[in-house]
Amino acid sequence: MAFGDRKKKKYTEFIETASGEVVYVGKHCVYDQNNPLPYNRYRTALALCCTGAAVLIAAAGLYRAPGMDRTLYVLLPYVILLGFTALMCYRGAKVVRAGNPLRAFDYRNALEPMQHWALASAVFAAILLVCYFVHLVRAGTEGCSMAAVVSFPLMIALIAVSDLGLLYVVRKNGWREAEEE
């Protein structure tokens, strides 16, 4: 299957009108009213978890914590965590912006992958913590301030908690296919 064929298959739910406007003609998903969270709180929880993780990963990168300069086994998990957090936040913003009802296209391409990015982000936060503490034991504080030594792992742990919270919210609150009118 060529690249163009995959792209055509991905966008089969969109058509172009005579005036040149692209219109979505596929199915929609609606937020299930039997979920534990009302829809507005669901959107708020998504936005807070994504924003919190993004702010924490940016703040953690600003600290001169031990191992955050010239130590590959600490920097590599941090960079991967940064990437997964960015992808998760991008997907979360798409879902929050799309509203209710959500196009089935957006559900498949934003909400479902966001769960995987959140889980991967939490796993890499745990890996980063392990690598950080291994480096701390091997090399010491390297002249870093005690505030950086303590706050960096705290921020990374909060990122993992935020990611797991997002994963819990997304998995606990479901969407269902809308009935055709």
pLDDT band for position 2 (cuts 50, 70, 90): low
Residue 10: predicted pLDDT: 65
CATH of residue 172's domain is: 1.20.120
The neighbour count for residue 17, using CB atoms within 10 Å, is 8
Number of structural domains in the chain: 1
- What percent of the chain is modeled with pLDDT above 90? 43
- In the chain, which ranges are continuous DSSP H helix? 3-10, 39-62, 72-98, 104-106, 112-139, 146-172
Q: Tell me which residue of 160, 155, 153 sits closest to 84, measured CA to CA.
A: 160
Residue 8 confidence (pLDDT) above 70: no
pLDDT band for position 158 (cuts 50, 70, 90): very high
The pLDDT tens digits of the residues spanning 30-78 come to 998 888 889 999 999 999 999 999 999 999 988 888 888 888 999 999 9
The range of the structural domain enclosing residue 11 comes to: 3-177
Residue 5 confidence (pLDDT) above 70: no
